[in-house]
Amino acid sequence: MGNVVLTGFMGTGKTTVGRLLAAALGYEFVDTDDVIEQRHGPIPEIFLTDGEAAFRRYEREVATELGTADGLVIATGGRMMLDAAAAAALGATGRVFCLTAELDTVLARVTADGVDNRPMLAGPDVEDRIAELFAARAAAYAAFEQVPTDRRTPAAVAADLETRLRR
């Protein structure tokens, strides 16, 4: 059966699309950020008290654990699959798709959702920080099968993924 792993930049719809896809496939849905929060507390507090390095270690631990499971749709944190160990663990038992969106779409979605729970966006100019991270991660995301989400409903993206999975 295998897993389906959704990666991509923040605001591309990994969680929303992942829930729809899991329901359509009859798989269990897992959001890696939710697992980390259940075990270690809110992500902003982890960054504040333990630091980003600890958070990235928690991501690798969760990836290693989920990589041994089967029948999951896994929505990863935006940077998780850019870590070689996490990508190897999840990629070994799952098909990985990278949800994409244009920078303007990401900016609109992320700012509409609010940035308080996104420690990577801490600082005076959220839009500049998003653009900086977006550019820095683009080449790494390109290693995965790309699934555009611009001007598409989450249901349309989930249906696209179902079609791709049948190939």
Question: For 40-68, what is each residue's pLDDT tens digit?
Answer: 999 999 999 999 999 999 999 999 999 99
Q: Are strands 72-75 and 3-8 parallel, antiparallel or unpaired?
A: parallel
Local confidence band at 123 (pLDDT 50, 70, 90 cut-offs): confident
Do 43 and 22 touch, CB atoms closer than 8 A? Answer: no
Q: In what order do the strands lie in the sheet with 145-148?
A: 28-31, 72-75, 3-8, 94-100, 145-148
Percent of the chain scoring above 70 in pLDDT = 100
* Residues 142-162 pLDDT 10s: 999 999 999 999 999 999 999
Q: Which residues pair with 31 in a beta bridge?
A: 75
Residue for token pair 């839009």: 127
Spacing of C-alpha 98 from chain mean position? 8
Report residue 65 as tokens: 């654990």
Whole-structure pTM over 0.75, yes or no?
yes
Res 1: pLDDT: 72
Q: Which of 1, 9, 4 lies closest to 149, judged by CA?
A: 9
Res 125: pLDDT: 87
Report residue 50 as tokens: 């333990």
Local confidence band at 167 (pLDDT 50, 70, 90 cut-offs): confident
Res 100: pLDDT: 97
Local confidence band at 119 (pLDDT 50, 70, 90 cut-offs): confident
Res 147: pLDDT: 98
SS3 for 30? strand
Local confidence band at 118 (pLDDT 50, 70, 90 cut-offs): confident
Do 7 and 14 touch, CB atoms closer than 8 A? Answer: yes
Question: Please, what is the Cα angle at 157 between 156 and 159, to 5 degrees?
Answer: 65
Do 67 and 130 touch, CB atoms closer than 8 A? Answer: no
Residue 1 or 156, more confident: 156
Residue for token pair 């959702």: 113
Res 114: pLDDT: 79
